[in-house]
Structure 1
Amino acid sequence: MQYFVVMIDYGRRGREAIVDPEVTRREVISRVASGEYRNISFIHEIADCSVEDVTAEILDEAALPVIGTTAADLQASQFDHVRDLRKHERV
C-alpha cells in the first residue's frame, strides 16, 4: 500500500495532516499546483514499511512555468517610472 501525507501549517491555528490512501502522486501535484494545498510543512510518501520525504520533488513538479516579461510590459513600466518622476519634480 502507498499513500501520501501532506502536512499543512495554519500558523497559530495549528497544523493539519491530510491523509487519503486514494490520492495519487499526480493528484497531490495537481492540488499543490492549483493552490488547494498551501503552507505545506512537508509531504511524505509512505510505501510498505518505509517513509520518504518527497516535499522538494513534489513542489518542483508542481511549480508553474515562469513567463518572462514582454517588451510591452517593459515599455509600460518605463512610462510609469517617468510619470512618477514627474510627480516628484519641483514646480
Structure 2
Amino acid sequence: MQYFVVMIDYGRRGREAIVDPEITRREVVSRIASGEYQNISFIHEVADSNVEDITEDILSEAGLPEIAASGADLQAACFDHARDLRKHEAV
C-alpha cells in the first residue's frame, strides 16, 4: 500500500494533514500546481512500512520556486515567540 501525507501549515490556526489513500503522486503535483495546496510544511510518501520525505521532489515537479521567508513572516514569528515568553513568565 502506498499513500501520501501533505502537511498544510495554517500558522496560528494550526496544521492539517491531508491523507487520502486514493490520491496518486500525479494528483498531489496537480493540486500543488493549481494552488489547492498552499503553505506546505512537508510531503511524505508512505509505502508499506517505509516513510520518505519527498517535499522538494514534489515541489520541483509542480514547478514552484523555493521561496524564502519574507520579512513579514519573520516579524510574525518574532511576535509569536515574544508572546509565548510572556505566557510563561513567573507571576
Alignment-derived partner of residue 51 in structure 1: 51
Between Structure 1 and Structure 2, whose CA radius of gyration is higher?
1
- After TM superposition, the score normalised by the length of structure 2 is 0.69
Q: 3-state SS of the aligned residue for 1:16? A: strand
Compute the RMSD of aligned alpha carbons. 1.3
Give 1:42's aligned amino acid. F
Say if 2:10 is the partner of 1:10.
yes
Give the drift of 1:3. Answer: 0.1
The aligned length equals 65
Unaligned 5+ segments in structure 1 are 65-91
1:20 matched to 2:41 = no
Q: CA deviation at 1:28?
A: 0.1
Counterpart of 1:38 in structure 2 is 38
1:29-70 alpha-carbon deviations (Å, 9 max, x no partner) = 000000000000000000001000000000000016xxxxxx
Percent identity among equivalent residues? Answer: 81
Aligned residue identity for 1:27: E
Q: How does 1:60-75 map to 2 (within 5 A)?
A: 60-63=60-63
Q: Secondary structure at the match of 2:23?
A: coil
- How far apart, in 2, do the equivalents of 1:28 and 1:53 lie? 14
Shift >3 Å, 4+ stretches: none
> What amino acid does structure 2 have at the position aligned with 1:49?
S
User: Aligned runs of 1:71-86 on 2, under 5 Å?
Assistant: none
Unaligned regions of 5+ residues in structure 2, if any? 65-91
Distance 1:20 1:55 in 2: 17
TM-score under structure 1 length normalisation:
0.69
